[in-house]
Amino acid sequence: MKGTTAFEAARGILDAAALEGHWVIPGALGGLEGKKGAYVLLVLLDKALPVGAGRQKTGHLSPGMYAYAGSAYGPGGLAARIRRHFRADKKVHWHIDRLTLEASGLAAFIVEHGDECQLARTLLETGCAEVALEGFGSTDCLTCSSHLMTIA
């Protein structure tokens, strides 16, 4: 599954999960200023990528579509966080930065006042997503094994 088809499939999965929110893409972040909440970041990788997930966990991500559940309740909220994910000129700070720097495509589904753990659980419950790498993006989470999922 490549490019547009991969994004369409991933968007279909999120739509089927009946989540209330809206899509944003690079260059079109209108309406996010001052808002806080959670999001699902879609990341398309065209090539394999070695990654770490904290606490000495490492793995290898195959080419494909990934969904990362995150939240933005700090200063700048959703606009600042999503803008950072979409930027190509950043230092690697979070686990997900490594993926976004290598991605051939990005999009985000925004859920104002949402919960990243609930988004991850909802995606996994669809049966169309599975944990991509244990511990990825969830090192501070007590309930989730990962916030990064592979979209099947």
**Per-residue pLDDT reduced to its tens digit, 98-132:** 899 999 999 999 999 999 999 999 999 988 899 99
Residue 139 CA to residue 152 CA, distance in Å, equals 24
Return the residue matching tokens 């988004």.
Answer: 119
Mind listing the pLDDT tens digit for each residue in 14-52?
Answer: 777 778 888 888 888 878 889 999 999 999 999 999 886
Query: Which pTM value belongs to this model?
Result: 0.89
Q: What is residue 45's DSSP assignment?
A: E
Query: Could you tell me the CA-to-CA distances from 18 to 39, 56, 73 in Å, in that order?
Result: 14, 36, 23
Q: 17 near 71, Cβ under 8 Å?
A: no
| CA 151/CA 110 separation, integer angstroms | 18
Q: How far apart are CA 68 and CA 146, in angstroms?
A: 9
Evaluate whether 72 touches 78 at the Cβ level (below 8 Å): yes
If one compares 96 and 136, the residue with the highest pLDDT of the two is 96
